[in-house]
Structure formats: C-alpha cells, structure tokens
Amino acid sequence: MKRQSLSDQVKRHSTEPIKEEKEYKGNFDTMISTGSTLLDLAISGGVVRNGGIPGGIFVEIFGPSGSGKTVLACEIAGDVQRKGGDIHFDDPEARLNKQFARIFDLNTDEIAYDTPDKVTEVFENIRKWKPKGEGAINGCFVDSLAALSTDIEMDNDDGDKMGMRRAKEFSEGFRKNARILQNKNYLMVGTNQVRENQDAGKYGVKWQSTGGKAIGFYASLRLRATNPDKIKKTKTINGKKQDRVIGVETEFEVFKSSIWEPYHKAKVYILFDYGIDDIRGNLQFIKDNTSNSTYSVNGVSLSNELEKAILMIEEQGLEKKLKREVINLWNEIEDKFKTERKSKQR
C-alpha cells in the first residue's frame, strides 16, 4: 500500500503528531519554538506541522563562540514562559541580565535563577526544583555547560584528572535525572563550547563538545552551530555611506535527533538588539527556493531590498501569512525526498 505523502499527513492540527510506525522521543502535546520557523521545521517538521521542540528531553546547543547559542537558548526559554511554563536558569558565567533577557520576552523576575560553579549543583537544582507551571512544559536551562567545574578541579591542577572527573559527574547526573525530565515533562537545554580534538586523526571527529561523551549520549536533540557570518547594514548619513555589523547569520544543523530525522539544517538570522529575526529568514527562504526574483509573500512582490520587504511585512501584518507559506513550501520540498517503497514483508 502506498504511503500517505507528508503534505497530506500534515493537514491537521498544528501540534498533532503524524502517526508513523516509528516512535519518537519526547512529549509532543505542546511544542516549544526556537523563534525560527525554519529551525523548528528542521527539528521536527516531519512529526508536527509547525515543528518545534517537545517536552521531556535534554537539548544540547553547541558550537563556536559568538554563533548565537545563548540567544537561541533564551528564545526557547521565552517561549516556555509564553506557553505557561516556569524557568530555572543556571548561569555559571553570570551573563544573563534583564535588558538582554527582555529582547526574548523573558521575564527574569519570574524565573528561578542561579549561578552554580559545579556540575553536581546543576543536577541538584533540577531535583529540588518545584515549578508552579502545572500541566505546562517547564524549562531547565544551563548557559554554559563548559563553564562548570568539579570539586577536584578546585584543588588539583591535573588537567586529565579534572576532565575525567567532570565527564563522570555529567554521566552520573544525566543518568539520575533522565527520568525526572521525562516524567515531569521538563525541557532541559544546555549550551556548550566545542574544542578541537587533536587526536582525531584523518577519519576521527575533529570537533567535540566539552564534558565528555555523556552530554551527547543523553541528549535527545543536539543542535550544532557553525561559524557565523556577519549581517551588515548600510546607511547614508549626511551624504556619506556608513556601514555597521548589526548581527550574525548562523546555520544550525540537527546533529543528533531522537525526535525526528537528523542532519536537517536551517539558517538563523540573529540581530544584536532584536534576537532571532524570523521574518528575515522566512523571506530569504522563499526567495531562495522559488522562481521569484524579488522578496515576496503569497506570490505578491514586495521589494528587491530585504530591509524594505521586512518593513512591509510588519506594517501590513503579514507575519502569519509569511510563516504559513514557508511551512507549505518547506513541506513541498521535503515531499520530493520521501522514500516511496512497498512495505517490507515480515
């Protein structure tokens, strides 16, 4: 029997899981958005119409410095709050402030905030936490995992011992807390740095996230950020052209996934004073994947200039129409890559 196409399957409620033979990990009753339509789709667009992140799992966001890991984590935290959940934010480097959090609609006055030093403290916080958001996805965030130390690290200069102890504590912590995340429907998100693996060899993994193998093993979803490209803006002021870097463009890859297929990618545009610019990403996606020579929505041309097109979308209130078109186009493209095969005889 011929399988139903993805585009037919998704003509249902936006958060209704697509019924397939494979069981995916996570609670799909409520989906948390990353702030990027394209990244949401890359994560779970083949399971849920609008994509996003389910509850009950651990997500690792790793990549080089300045690639938008903290911004992405804060965007996710903001959506957890909007959907009625509580936030526990562990901030070892104490970088989160009210002004920065406000960009992502994240109310720091209503979150449980801590600045732990050690790996064990993070997992103790999860076990002791009693969020008020019953029935909602509650979020545990750690920015960053690489900044956490151990007891032995405080008194010992032996790098090998410190690394081994930290890896062991991460392994113990995730093993003890994995069921808590699942049973209490917590969404745990941790950002992490990458390090060059000097012993990788020709065919080994050149870049590894810190903290040993336990982090990657227990993560149901791993998002890898690439080196960012600068987003520049040019203005003519007093007859002279002025250039400024206003943000970065980062490609995120679904490096590992237990909630859908891995290796899907999405370009995410991050403005320094705004956060993730979903309109920019959506307009660019339509232009790059259709025959339209200008930026457009529903086939209606807006402008040759991206900045003008963005303003037109906002002024005319076309954000939802633009998002729907992107979701439809994304599914149309994915349909072409679906494997249509006869069911195996067992």
> What domain range includes position 116?
14-276
Residues 66-86 have pLDDT tens digits of 999 999 999 999 999 999 999
Same domain? 322 vs 245: no
**Three-class SS state of 52:** coil
Same domain? 174 vs 31: yes
* Confidence tier at 2 by pLDDT (50, 70, 90): very low
Q: Which helix (H) or strand (E) holds 200?
A: none
pTM given for the model? 0.88
Q: Is the pLDDT of residue 92 over 60?
A: yes
Residues 118-153 have pLDDT tens digits of 999 999 999 999 998 778 999 999 998 999 987 655
Q: Nearest 5 degrees, angle CA 12-CA 17-CA 21?
A: 120
Lowest mean pLDDT among 88-102, 156-170, 289-303: 156-170
Tell me if 7 is assigned to some domain: no
Same domain? 295 vs 154: no
CA 89 to chain centroid, in Å, comes to 16
Same domain? 51 vs 174: yes
End residue of a domain, out of 276, 303, 323: 276
End residue of a domain, out of 241, 260, 276: 276
* Confidence tier at 204 by pLDDT (50, 70, 90): low
CATH number, domain containing residue 267: 3.40.50.300
End residue of a domain, out of 276, 297, 319: 276
Cα separation, 52 vs 328, in Å, equals: 16
Tell me if 1 is assigned to some domain: no
Q: Which two tokens stand for residue 16?
A: 């209704």
Which of these, 250, 267, 340, 271, lies nearest to 42 by C-alpha position?
267
Cα separation, 103 vs 81, in Å, equals: 14
Q: Which helix (H) or strand (E) holds 114?
A: strand 112-114
Tell me if 346 is assigned to some domain: no
Tell me if 6 is assigned to some domain: no
In total, the chain counts a number of residues equal to 346
Same domain? 212 vs 301: no
Task: Report the number of distinct structural domains present in the chain.
Answer: 2
Same domain? 288 vs 201: no
Cα separation, 39 vs 34, in Å, equals: 7
Cα separation, 330 vs 62, in Å, equals: 25
Same domain? 269 vs 291: no
CA 62, 112, 171, 259 dihedral sign is negative
Same domain? 187 vs 317: no
What per-residue confidence (pLDDT) applies to 133? 74
Same domain? 192 vs 332: no
Q: Is the pLDDT of residue 8 over 60?
A: no
- Write the burial class of residue 1 (CB in 10 Å: 0-12 exposed, 13-18 middle, 19+ buried): exposed
Tell me if 4 is assigned to some domain: no
Residues 280-298 have pLDDT tens digits of 999 999 999 999 999 999 9
Cα separation, 111 vs 278, in Å, equals: 25
Q: Are the C-beta atoms of residues 166 and 211 closer than 8 Å to each other?
A: yes
Same domain? 248 vs 324: no
Same domain? 263 vs 330: no
What per-residue confidence (pLDDT) applies to 207? 62
Same domain? 152 vs 80: yes
Residues 235-281 have pLDDT tens digits of 999 999 999 999 999 999 999 999 999 999 999 999 999 999 999 99
Residue type, 40: D
Tell me if 28 is assigned to some domain: yes
What per-residue confidence (pLDDT) applies to 37? 98
Q: Is the pLDDT of residue 210 over 80?
A: no
CA 62, 65, 71, 74 dihedral sign is positive
Pairing of strands 58-63, 186-196: parallel
